[in-house]
């Protein structure tokens, strides 16, 4: 080997060492980067995989799930929940639906993704027929017009000032009811029918629509012919809004009629169901009736009739009403929600347009949430209990008789005042007993959007108040 080559040897040796070091450095950088990139790619790939839809029974073509024809659909849903879990899919007729039966998933729908599920979807036939093409607050889809109507409805008609101003009208109807019962004292009466008459509602949907529209037209004509400066009531205010050109605050005449129908039908139907179910439970529990009447005698007195000022003081009756609504929510599936865009509930895919039913009936009877859930125990809502602070505002998702979120019942305050006034008056002015030979009350249900008793509630009243003049319907 030449001297020159010998001199070059350390150079090549050093160069080779440096190259190896460079490759080692590159290797130690590239390999971790490769694994990190592969991990991120895998995660993204998994996230892009289509999530499954909720499990559920197979439906028949056109018909869908057969228990859809059953009168107790929500009972069928309880059985399905025990099989498929807290969310499942069913086909009702031609419609794909998802049913939610747990508080945490209902919170996901009504609180976390409220806007996505704020629509109603295709209106049901009843809504189209009596709500002027579903222009009302209950069944119309979420949007600018709906927000405007709800703001007017809640801010004007359901305000405390407006409800206070209309007390005399409610009191007048309750007095007429008491007089009718007074005339039938000792005879068998249909409590549900009496309540229907008191609230002002008929049973047939089409008859309701035609009669109410004629009534609305008459009232509107009366207002239009009168002095608009003196029209201070709710209808007068609504009619003034039809003359405003600003689309942000104006209403159309069909919208006015639909809002009036919301009050007459939507609120009345649920109130009647609440009164009838509560009276049925009280009649089956003599000790509850005794406690209610003792409280009424103390707060109101047997020489006076019930006024709305008494209602906040009737703590036990309030607990009775809450317990009745727990066992018998008027709308056990709530009014269905509809996904306005693809979304998820509980990790399951919910396609756009799918109707979502929130099964409050099963939640309010869930033994994992409620102690002795099938027993009628008003004490669970009294002071000192774990559930004393539960109210009708929909903030606790284990108790939602009127729903929650932006689509909850807008007439809760009116329904509460009316139902409590009717209940307090019935139980204060009269002693009630079952007809001769009757031991138990039939609690079977007639399924519909509002669930009522399948058979009329019959009972015999006797007088409790100190003076017969208190039963007069004259002021």
Q: Which residues are annotated as a binding site for heme?
A: 409
Q: Is the separation of the CB atoms in 399 and 326 below 8 Å?
A: yes
Closest CA to 263 of 453, 412, 146: 412
101, 108 Cβ separation under 8 angstroms: no
- Binding-site residue numbers are 409
> How is residue 393 written in tokens?
């505002």
**Which pair of tokens denotes residue 158?**
């359901």
Q: Are 329 and 361 in contact (CB under 8 A)?
A: yes
Residues 6 or more apart whose Cβ sits within 8 Å of residue 85 = 55
Phi, psi of 195, deg, nearest 5: -70, -40
User: Could you give the CA distance from residue 63 to residue 133 in angstroms, rounded to a whole number?
Assistant: 25
How far apart are alpha carbons 415 and 269 in whole angstroms? 10
d(CA 135, CA 255): 6
* Residue position matching structure tokens 């008609």: 157
What letter does residue 223 receive in the DSSP assignment? H
Strand partners, 462: 431
Task: Give backbone dihedrals phi and psi of 468, rounded to 5 degrees, phi first.
Answer: -65, -25
> Helices 286-299 and 412-429 meet at what angle, rounded to 10?
100
CB-count exposure of residue 378 (10 Å: 0-12, 13-18, 19+) = buried
C-alpha 232: how far from its chain's center?
31
């Amino acid at each position: 080997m030449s001297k020159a080559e010998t001199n070059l040897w350390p150079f090549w040796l050093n160069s080779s060492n440096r190259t190896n070091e460079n490759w080692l450095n590159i290797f130690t950088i590239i390999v971790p980067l490769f694994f990190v990139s592969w991990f991120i790619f895998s995660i993204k790939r998994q996230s892009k995989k289509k999530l499954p839809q909720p499990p559920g029974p197979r439906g028949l073509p056109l018909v869908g799930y057969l228990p859809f024809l059953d009168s107790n659909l929500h009972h069928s849903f309880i059985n399905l929940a025990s099989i498929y879990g807290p969310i499942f899919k069913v086909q009702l007729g031609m419609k794909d639906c998802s049913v939610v039966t747990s508080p945490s998933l209902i919170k996901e729908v009504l609180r976390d993704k409220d806007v996505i599920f704020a629509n109603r979807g295709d209106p049901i036939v009843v809504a189209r027929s009596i709500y002027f093409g579903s222009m009302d607050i209950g069944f119309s889809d979420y949007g600018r017009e709906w927000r405007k109507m709800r703001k007017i409805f809640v801010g004007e008609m359901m305000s405390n000032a407006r409800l206070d101003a209309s007390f005399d009208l409610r009191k007048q109807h309750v007095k007429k009811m008491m007089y009718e019962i007074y005339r039938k004292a000792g005879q068998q009466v249909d409590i549900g029918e009496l309540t229907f008459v008191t609230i002002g509602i008929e049973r047939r949907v089409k008859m309701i629509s035609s009669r109410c529209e004629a009534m609305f037209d008459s009232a509107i004509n009366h207002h239009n012919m009168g002095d608009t400066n003196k029209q201070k009531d709710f209808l007068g205010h609504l009619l003034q809004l039809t003359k405003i050109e600003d689309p942000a605050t104006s209403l159309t005449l069909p919208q006015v009629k639909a809002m009036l129908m919301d009050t007459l039908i939507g609120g009345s139907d649920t109130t009647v169901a609440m009164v009838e179910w509560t009276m049925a439970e009280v009649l089956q529990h003599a000790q509850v009736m005794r406690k209610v009447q003792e409280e009424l005698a103390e707060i109101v007195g047997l020489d006076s009739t019930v006024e709305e000022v008494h209602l906040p003081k009737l703590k036990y009756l309030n607990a009775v009403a809450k317990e009745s609504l727990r066992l018998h929510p008027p709308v056990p599936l709530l009014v269905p929600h509809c996904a306005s865009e693809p979304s998820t509930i509980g990790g399951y895919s919910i396609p756009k347009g799918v109707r979502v039913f929130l099964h409050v009936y099963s939640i309010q009877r869930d033994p994992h949430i409620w102690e002795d859930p099938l027993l009628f125990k008003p004490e669970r809502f009294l002071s000192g209990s774990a559930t004393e602070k539960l109210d009708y505002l929909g903030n606790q998702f284990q108790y939602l008789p009127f729903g929650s979120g932006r689509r909850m019942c807008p007439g809760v305050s009116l329904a509460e005042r009316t139902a409590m006034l009717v209940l307090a008056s019935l139980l204060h002015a009269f002693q009630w007993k079952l007809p001769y030979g009757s031991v138990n009350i039939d609690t079977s249900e007639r399924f519909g959007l509002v669930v009522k008793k399948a058979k009329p509630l019959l009972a015999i009243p006797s007088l409790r108040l100190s003076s017969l003049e208190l039963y007069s319907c004259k002021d």
